[in-house]
Amino acid sequence: MSIYSIKELLTKKNEDESAQKRLEEKQQEIKLKEIEKSIKKIAISQGLNYINLVGFSISPKALKLIEEEKAKKFKVICFFYASNQIRIGTTSPSQEVRKILRDLEIKYHAKAKLYLISPHSFEYALNFYITLPKVIEEEKGLQIDGDKLKKYQEEIKNFREIDNKIKQSLHKLSLTDIVAIILAAAIKAGASDVHIESEEKTVKCRYRIDGILHDVTELSQDLKKRVISRIKILAGLKINVFNKAQDGRFSIFLNNEKINVRVSALPTAFGESVVMRLLMPSVVSLKFEKLGLSNEAYDKLNQEVKRPNGLIVTTGPTGSGKTTTLYAILNKLNTPDKKIITIEDPIEYELKGVNQSQVDANSGYTFSKGLRSIVRQDPDIILVGEIRDLETANIAIQAALTGHLVLSTIHTNDASGTIPRFLSMGVKPFLLAPAINVMIGQRLVRRLCNNCKREAKISNEQMEKIKRILQQLPEDKRKEVDFNNLKFYKSVGCEKCQGIGYKGRIGIYEIMTMNKEVEKLILSGNVSEYDMKDIAIKNGMVTMVQDGLLKALKGITSIDEVFRVSE
C-alpha cells in the first residue's frame, strides 16, 4: 500500500471519528431538549413555574442564600435575588424545599417563588459554588481582608518573588490567599494595574508599574477559571457570563486607607481577561507644586489657573497623566468660596468638596448633555473629562467665554496640535481664539532610583542628537546648560526599586499660552501644528523633549525614558 493510500485512510478515519463525535453531541443535545420539555410539562401539571438555568446569569448574592451542603442534600438552588424578589429552583419540590422557601421569605422580607428544574440544569448551577469564596459585604461595597494583605506584603520583598511563593505553597493556599498575594504585591510595588490574561494552557499575571508591564507569575489551567471567578465575585460581576464584557468595583481597606479597585472583564480567544486598576489615594492628593513643572512653566501655568474664566486644555495620549494634572489644578483651586462641578468617564477618584458626575451612555447622559446641565448649576469651575465632539467643544467654549474656568483634556500629540484639533471638529475660530487660555502637552517618564543610579555612557551619535535639541532652547535656558560637560544617568536595579531601576514617575511638559500672534493665526483659519509650534518656540516655549532632557541632566530620569515617551 502506498504512502498516499495510508494518508487517505488516516484522513478518512479522522473524518469518521469527528463525524461520530458531532453525531453524539447532536444526539445528546436532542436528548437534553426532550428532558427539558418533559420537565416543563410536569411543572405545568403541578402548577409550578419552570426554568432552564443553563446559560442563566446567576449572581453570587443569590447563590449564597442557600448553603452548598443544603443545596446538594435537597436538590435546591437560589438563582435570583434582587429588589425583595427571590427565585429558587429544585428537581424535587418536597416539603423540606418548601420550608426553605418560607424561611427565605421571612429572613429576607422578600417574595419567593419556586421553580421546577431538570437535573442537568441543577448540576450546571451547582458548579458555581466552587468559585464562591467567603467575602465580607459592607454598606459601600466589598471588603477583602486587609490584615492578610499586610501579612503577605511583609513576606514578599518584591513582586518577582510571587511566582516562587505561589508554587512552593500552592497546596496550602486557598483561592482567596492566591488573590490576596497578587493584590498585596501589586500594592507594595506601586502597580497601577493588575492584568490576569487567559492563555491556551495557563493564566498569565502581569503588573503595570510606572507605565510599563512586567510579567509576575503564571497560574495553572486548574486555577484559571477559579481565580478569575474570585475576582469577578469581589467586583460584583456575574460569574456565569463569559461572552460579554463586564465592569465592576471593590475596595481594599488597609490601615485606615481605602484603595478602590476598578475591574474590567473581557472575553478573549482562550477565556476571559481581567484587568484590575488600583486607584491609589496618593494620586488624588497630589499637589500642584509636585507635578514636576520647571520654574518657568510653573509660574506660567500658575498665573493662568488664577484667571476667573477661560479654557485650560491638557493634551497627550492615554496614560500620559492628563487627569492627574487636572486634579492637581482642582486641588489648588478647591476653596470654600468656589463651586466646582465635574463630568467624568468614569469617576476614578473622589474629590472632597467637588460635585462630581459620571457619563452614562445607557441613560443618554453624555458629556455634552451633562455639561449643558452643569452650566445651569452656576459653577465657578468646570472639569470636563474629555472633549470628544463638536457639541461638547462648543458648550465648553461658551462656558469659558461667559465667566467660567473650564478644565478639560483632548487627544492630540502635543500642545501645538490643540487648535488644529478643535478646528477639525468644526469649532468657529472667532469663538476659539478668545476662549483658550493655555494648552498643556505632557508625558510621564519614570524616575531613576536614587539608590542605584550611575553615570551613563552616551554614544557620539546620540550625544549629537541631544545637543541639537538643547541648542534650540530659549536663550536664558540655553545659558544654564554646560554643553562641554553633559552628564546623564542610568539605574542598574537594586532591592529598593525591586530590580527595575526606576521608582515613581514625573511629568515632562510644554506650556503654550495664548498671545496676539497665536490669536491672529487662529482667526486666519489656516492653522497647522507646525505653525503653532514655531510661534510657541519663538515666544520661549520649552518643548516636552527639551524639558525631559533638562530633567535627565539633573539625574531625575534617563535619556532612554525621555526618548521612549517623546518620539
Q: Are 525 and 468 in a shared domain?
A: yes
Instruction: Tell me the residue range of the domain where 104 lies.
Output: 49-131
Is the pLDDT at 168 greater than 80? The verdict is no
Indicate the residue among 229, 247, 279 that finishes a domain: 279
> In which element (H, E) is residue 79 found?
strand 76-82
> Is 9 within the bounds of a domain?
no
Pair 340, 379: CB distance under 8 Å? yes
> Is 354 within the bounds of a domain?
yes
Indicate the residue among 218, 248, 279 that finishes a domain: 279
| CA–CA gap between residue 220 and residue 5 (Å, rounded) | 41
Q: At what angle do helices 516-524 and 529-538 cross, to 10 degrees?
A: 170
Q: Are 350 and 419 in a shared domain?
A: yes
At residue 80, the pLDDT reads 87
Least reliable range by pLDDT among 170-174, 279-283, 521-525: 170-174
Is the pLDDT at 146 greater than 80? The verdict is no
Higher pLDDT, 395 or 167: 395
Q: Are 319 and 264 in a shared domain?
A: no
> Is 547 within the bounds of a domain?
yes
| CA–CA gap between residue 291 and residue 508 (Å, rounded) | 9
Q: Are 122 and 142 in a shared domain?
A: no
What mean pLDDT do residues 295-324 have?
91
At residue 350, the pLDDT reads 80
Pair 465, 552: CB distance under 8 Å? no
Write down the pTM of the prediction.
0.72
> Is 339 within the bounds of a domain?
yes
Higher pLDDT, 287 or 424: 424
Average pLDDT, the chain: 86
At residue 235, the pLDDT reads 85
| CA–CA gap between residue 90 and residue 115 (Å, rounded) | 6
Q: Are 405 and 322 in a shared domain?
A: yes
**Tell me, what CATH number does 154's domain have?**
3.30.450.90
Is the pLDDT at 142 greater than 60? The verdict is no
Higher pLDDT, 184 or 413: 413
At residue 396, the pLDDT reads 94
Cis peptide bond prior to 119, omega within 30° of 0:
no
At residue 145, the pLDDT reads 57
- The pLDDT tens digits for 493-544 are 888 888 889 999 999 999 999 999 999 999 987 888 999 999 999 999 999 9
| CA–CA gap between residue 247 and residue 324 (Å, rounded) | 22
What mean pLDDT do residues 425-439 have?
94
Pair 88, 76: CB distance under 8 Å? yes
At residue 139, the pLDDT reads 35
Q: Are 321 and 468 in a shared domain?
A: yes
Pair 316, 443: CB distance under 8 Å? yes
- Residue 86's closest CA among 67, 61, 69? 61
Q: Are 171 and 96 in a shared domain?
A: no
Q: Are 216 and 307 in a shared domain?
A: no
Indicate the residue among 279, 299, 332 that finishes a domain: 279
Q: How many domains does one find in the chain?
A: 3
Three state DSSP letters for 279-338 = ECHHHHCCCHHHCCCCHHHHHHHHHHHCCCCEEEEEECCCCCCHHHHHHHHHHHHCCCCC
At residue 135, the pLDDT reads 43
- The pLDDT tens digits for 81-128 are 876 788 999 999 999 999 999 888 888 878 889 999 999 999 888 888
| CA–CA gap between residue 530 and residue 94 (Å, rounded) | 79
Q: Please name the amino acid found at residue 82.
A: A
- Reported as a pLDDT band with limits 50, 70 and 90, residue 137 is very low
Cell of 96: 423540606
Higher pLDDT, 240 or 278: 278
